[in-house]
Amino acid sequence: MPRHPATRSVEELLRECSERHVRRSGPGGQNRNKVETGIVLTHDPTGVSVEASERRTQRENKAVAIQRLRRALAVEVREHIDEAGPSELWRSRVRNRRIALNESHEDHPAMLAEALDVLAAHQWDLASAAERLQVSASQLAKLLKTEPKAFKRLNDERMARGAAPLK
């Protein structure tokens, strides 16, 4: 079974991406408008694209773009879930039905992707997806709220099925 793109290492992910360098206006001094420090990453298999140009160097912008790409892939790409239960990563991050994860941690996009994949498999029903993931519904909602696009996706899908949006 293929792994979700958000769970791949930086090296694996970059092998699947096209990279383009761009110039953008804004703060950053004279160098900003003369040198292409902005980075646009496009994940070729899915077409998901992100940009980072707010930092002064290509290296810094590339690091930001990679994190943004992993989050965008987590929100936009759905994969079939394994019927065996939560992944090893998910189980390692759950203690007493609570998710132990900071949103800036490198595992955050992979956890977000798994949560959204399970929600999609459960027709976006928070309670049944939370049960499958062995966490409380409030913990699952809290994880999704760390990424506004993920929480919006949940609410859009719920409303499309006639359920009330969550707050």
- Do residues 116 and 79 make contact, with C-beta atoms less than 8 angstroms apart? no
Identify any residues that bridge with 99 across adjacent strands, giving them in sequence order: 94
Q: Give the model confidence (pLDDT) of 124-146 as tens digits.
A: 999 999 999 999 999 999 999 99
Tokens describing residue 146: 């760390």
Nearest to 154 by CA among 134, 69, 130: 130
Q: What pLDDT shows up at residue 1? A: 43
* Residue 109 sits in the same domain as residue 149: yes
Residue 130 lies in a domain: yes
Question: Residue 27 maps to which CATH number?
Answer: 3.30.160.20
* Residue 63 sits in the same domain as residue 102: no
What are the start-end ranges of the H helices in 106-147?
108-121, 126-132, 137-145
Give how many domains the chain has, as a whole number: 2
Residue 166 lies in a domain: no
pTM over the 0.85 mark: yes
Q: What pLDDT shows up at residue 107? A: 93
If phi over 0 gives left and psi between -120 and 50 gives alpha, with beta otherwise, what is residue 9? Answer: beta
Q: Which of 76, 96, 131 is the last residue of a domain?
A: 76
What is the rounded distance in angstroms from the CA atom of residue 155 to the CA atom of residue 7? 24
Residue 167 lies in a domain: no
Check pLDDT > 80 for residue 14. Answer: yes
* Residue 95 sits in the same domain as residue 54: no
* Residue 96 sits in the same domain as residue 147: yes
Residue 82 lies in a domain: no
If phi over 0 gives left and psi between -120 and 50 gives alpha, with beta otherwise, what is residue 78? Answer: beta
Residue 119 lies in a domain: yes
* Residue 13 sits in the same domain as residue 54: yes
Q: Give the model confidence (pLDDT) of 23-57 as tens digits.
A: 876 555 555 556 678 899 999 999 999 999 888 88
